[in-house]
Amino acid sequence: MKLNMKTKFYLGVLVITALSLYVYIFAEFSIGNIGMFLFWAALAVVVESLLIPMPNNTIGVSVGYAINIATIIIGGPLLATTTAGLGFLLRVPKIEGRGYVHIFNLPPHKSVFNVSQSIIVTALMSLIYVNIGGRIGEFGLAQTIAITLVGALINTSIISVYLSLNSELKFIETWISNIRGTFPSSLAVGSIGIIIALAYIGYGYGAVILFFGPLLLARYSFKLYIEMRNLYLSTIQALNKTVEAKDPYTSGHANRVEKFAVDLAKAYHLPFTSIQNLKTASILHDIGKIGIHDEILNKASRLTKEEYQEIMRHPAIGAEIISKVDFLSDITTIVKHHHERYDGKGYPDGLSGDEIPIEAAILTIADSYDAMTTDRPYRQAMTPQKAIEELVNNAGTQFHPDLVKLFVSIMDN
Residue among 145, 152, 90, 78 at smallest CA distance from 121: 152
Q: Which residues contact 306 (CB under 8 A, 6 or more apart)?
A: none
Q: Which residues contact 59 (CB under 8 A, 6 or more apart)?
A: 53, 159, 163, 178, 179
Look up residue 58 and give its DSSP letter: S
**pLDDT over 50 (residue 63):** yes
- CATH classification of 5-230 is 1.10.620.20, yes or no? no
CA 255 from chain centre, in angstroms, equals: 18
Most distant CA atoms of the chain, gap in Å:
85
CA pair distance 267, 262, nearest whole angstrom: 9
Residue type, position 148, single letter: T
Task: State mean pLDDT over 99-104.
Answer: 83
The confidence band for 222, taking pLDDT boundaries of 50, 70 and 90, is low
Cα dihedral sign for 201, 206, 209, 210? negative
Highest average pLDDT, of 175-179, 322-326, 349-353, 378-382, comes from: 349-353
HSE (side-chain half, CA atoms, 13 Å) at 223: 11
User: What CATH topology corresponds to 247-412?
Assistant: Hypothetical protein af1432 (1.10.3210)
CA pair distance 411, 371, nearest whole angstrom: 16
**pLDDT over 60 (residue 55):** no
Task: State mean pLDDT over 375-399.
Answer: 89
Residue type, position 320, single letter: E
**pLDDT over 90 (residue 60):** no
* pLDDT at site 28: 95
The confidence band for 185, taking pLDDT boundaries of 50, 70 and 90, is low
**pLDDT over 50 (residue 203):** yes
Q: Which residues contact 250 (CB under 8 A, 6 or more apart)?
A: 243, 244, 286, 289
Mean pLDDT over the full length of the chain: 85
Q: Domain extents for the chain?
A: 5-230, 247-412
CA pair distance 378, 273, nearest whole angstrom: 38
What residue ranges in 46-198 does DSSP mark as E strands?
52-53, 60-61, 94-95, 99-100
The helix (run of H) or strand (run of E) holding residue 33 is none
**pLDDT over 90 (residue 355):** yes
Q: Identify the residue with better confidence: 251 or 196.
A: 196
**pLDDT over 90 (residue 257):** yes
* End-to-end Cα, the chain, rounded Å: 29
pLDDT tens for 272-326 read 788 889 998 998 898 888 888 878 877 777 788 888 899 899 999 999 988 887 7
The helix (run of H) or strand (run of E) holding residue 412 is helix 401-412
The confidence band for 229, taking pLDDT boundaries of 50, 70 and 90, is low
Q: Identify the residue with better confidence: 117 or 56.
A: 117
* pLDDT at site 57: 47
For 62-66, 269-273, 388-392, which range has the lowest pLDDT when averaged over its residues? 62-66
What percent of the chain has pLDDT above 70?
A: 87
Question: 87 with 44: CB under 8 angstroms?
Answer: yes
